[in-house]
Amino acid sequence: MKVYEKVRHYLEENGLEHIRVAKKAGIPNLTFNAILDGKRTLYADDLRAICLALNVSPEMFVDST
């Protein structure tokens, strides 16, 4: 599973609204949705902002192998 898919799955699993997470992460909603749909690259800075908004570690979404 790709990183953006893991983020999307986490949001769905926890009942989190995309628009609220996007706002908290400081990422425009259209950009955030494009990331979660795999239509835009998920950059390290974006992942960091999303993880800060979710209060989780980036390692949760990145495979170490």
* Residue 24 is assigned to a structural domain of this protein: yes
Whether residue 17 is contained in a domain is answered as yes
Position of tokens 């979404």? 61
What is the residue range of 43's domain?
Answer: 3-60
User: Which pLDDT score is estimated for 64?
Assistant: 62
Number of domains making up the chain: 1
**Which H/E stretch holds residue 8?**
helix 3-13
Structural domain includes residue 65: no
| pLDDT score for 52 | 96
CATH of the domain at 12: 1.10.260.40
Task: For residues 26-31, give the mean pLDDT.
Answer: 96
pLDDT at 65: 55
Listed in sequence order, the residues at least 6 apart from 50 whose beta carbon sits closer than 8 Å to its beta carbon are 7, 21, 25, 27
Interval 37-60: pLDDT, tens: 999 999 999 999 999 999 999 999
Percent of the chain with pLDDT over 70: 97
- The answer to whether position 46 is within a domain reads yes
Instruction: Say if 11 falls within a structural domain.
Output: yes
Residue 28 inside a domain? The answer is yes
Q: How many CB atoms lie within 10 A of CB 25?
A: 19
pTM of the model: 0.88
